[in-house]
Amino acid sequence: MTYHPPTMHPHGLSEVSTLIQTTGTGLAVVTFQKVTMTATTLFTISYNAYGQYPRNHLSATAYGTAALDRHRNRLWECRDRLFTSKGLEKGHYLPFRDISASGSVKKSNIHSDEQLRDFLCTDASNTTATNDTVVVQPSFKGDEACRFVFLCAESAIGPLELSAMMLFQLLSFYQVMLHFLDFLYVYASPHGDDKELHFSGFRTQKTLTNPQPATILPELGRSGRQYQLCYNIKTAVDKGIDGWKTRQAAIHHQFDIGQSTQLWIIGDPHSSIKRVVGELYHENHVYPTSFSTFQQSFKSSMDVHLSLASWATSEWRWNIRFLEERAETLTLKATLVKERAHIETLDPGSLSTVQRWEEKTTDTVMSMESNVNVLKLLQRYYRDLLKDSDFPQRERRACQQGVKDFCFQLEELICEMQMQIARAQVLVKVLAERKTVLIQNLQAQSAIISSRLAASMYDQADRSAIEAIAVRIVTIVTVVYLPATFSSTFFSTDVVKYQGGEVFSKVALDRFLEVTLPLMLLTFVPAGIWFWLERRKRSKTSHRAKEALVDLFSEETDLDGR
């Protein structure tokens, strides 16, 4: 009998995985029927059909068909962006860090779907027959006291360094709540688009009593009585010359209160959380007092939450300091100028730069506020968990002090974040006010440029007026000589003759002057009066314009005097 692993399909697979039985006559497909099965058999059917996750989830009915189809279709649509396209030898990388009940730490790295199956199961060749149903029955390995699985990503917005089948197999094996997919979609963002980093959430699922029978798997160390948490937190990372960037981690946590085992699946860009957990539980050390009892395991799970919260809050202070320094550099000079010469040196492009950094600061505030909201919900969840009547009574008193300390330390981190948020909000307000001043100065710069243009146009008009006066003078000179020219022309005709033989004729001169001088007088007097009137009118108009626009015609103007 041969088992054919499921393949990814936009509409999922059949209700259970297909088994092909080799017979003497060929291949015969064995179909499955709805029959009474053990919890292990139901879990095995769900696990074998991991290729159709989340439709194979044991709680699929509770989630509803619409939610399952929506997530399935979205997974199919973003598969090329969510999962790496590298070959098996190059890039599929799924690191594990396991801690046993005795406290020993072991690391493992998985690079393929088949290797992951071998890691989770000891033998996949067993089969179980129930009536007409044949199920491949692998022997599963029991859950570790604590297991960390790191879904490493190449960048803050993905893709994940594993295949779709590896993720589906992992989520099916641990029956991870469907909501965790919402936190993984951020790693399917288009290249260069980090808008999904604005997403934030906190989701829970709790079954402390009367668990679903198919989830009770003693051979795997699962009681079915568990709670699950999903949330995401963000931190700031210094990228050197590129400034600070926001990095997000998606957290899934399961805790089995019957077996005291815990699971962590973490979406981890650049393996930063992996390093945090490595410092918390180093492979060369042993932690015998951390996982041997319920109280110890419960406290260690809260310690991991605190380490993650510390990771999410530690760098924002320095990010805001960088933003403050950048804002000071961009806006202080532009807002303190008083002289016209300084205003004229402002770069209009600085306005868009200030706007961009204001938006960066606003995004920073939003990321920090999302962290505060998540930490508050985490704090409230553990307080309410301890108050839940279904929480083990025997363990309640032993865990009270641990939860109290956990909530107090979270409160410290929350207060620190709120102070940084207030600091960033002040910076946003300062940037907005300085941007307003910068806009006013740029408007003043535009007014100065316009005034200079108007002044140059006025000067051009004034020069044109002077040229017009010159033309008038030429005209006047022409008019001066016009009577004489007329007289000379007139007396050179035969109307009057002075050719009596005399070289000089006083009579001719007298006649010339008698005619020319009155004509010149009649020409000069009206022309002079007209020119004087026009010049006076022009002078008055120019004087009124210069008095009305004194700044326009002054070389230096103090802005405080305007």
pLDDT tens track for 193-221: 567 778 899 999 999 999 988 899 998 99
Pairing status of strand 261-269 against strand 146-153: parallel
- Tell me the residue length of the chain: 562
Report whether pLDDT(504) > 70: no
Residue 12's pLDDT is what?
A: 37
Residue 534's pLDDT is what?
A: 74
Q: What end-to-end distance do the CA atoms of the chain give, in Å?
A: 95
Residue 487's pLDDT is what?
A: 73
User: 257 or 437, which is more confident?
Assistant: 257
Query: Can you say whether residue 191 is alpha, beta or left, with left for phi > 0 and alpha for psi between -120 and 50 degrees?
Result: beta
How buried is residue 210: exposed, middle or buried, by Cβ count under 10 Å (0-12/13-18/19+)?
Answer: exposed
What's the average model confidence in pLDDT over 414-425? Answer: 95
Among 444, 517, 114, smallest CA distance to 509 is for 517
| Predicted TM-score of the model (pTM) | 0.74
Q: At what angle do helices 294-313 and 393-491 cross, to 10 degrees?
A: 10
Report d(CA 289, CA 271) in Å as an integer.
27
C-beta atoms surrounding 188 within 10 Å = 20
pLDDT > 90: percent of the chain: 42
Residue 498's pLDDT is what?
A: 54
Helix (H) or strand (E) holding 69: helix 65-77
Q: Which amino acid is at 519?
A: L
Tens of pLDDT along 521-540? Answer: 887 787 778 777 877 777 77
Residue 553's pLDDT is what?
A: 60
Tens of pLDDT along 291-305? Answer: 999 999 999 999 999
Among 183, 502, 200, 499, smallest CA distance to 376 is for 200
Phi, psi dihedrals of residue 209, rounded to the nearest 5°: -140, 160
Report whether pLDDT(555) > 70: no
Report whether pLDDT(81) > 70: yes
Q: How confident is the model at residue 505 (pLDDT cuts 50, 70, 90)?
A: low
Q: How confident is the model at residue 1 (pLDDT cuts 50, 70, 90)?
A: very low
Measured CA distances, 22 to 15, 26, 28, 557 (Å): 22, 6, 7, 98
Report whether pLDDT(332) > 50: yes
DSSP 85-148: ---TTTT--EEEEEE-TT-BEEEEEE-SHHHHHHHHEEES--EEEETTEEEE--EEPPPPSEEE
Residue 344's pLDDT is what?
A: 62
Mean pLDDT of the chain: 80
C-beta atoms surrounding 358 within 10 Å = 22
Tens of pLDDT along 333-383? Answer: 666 666 665 666 666 667 777 788 888 899 999 999 999 999 999 999 999
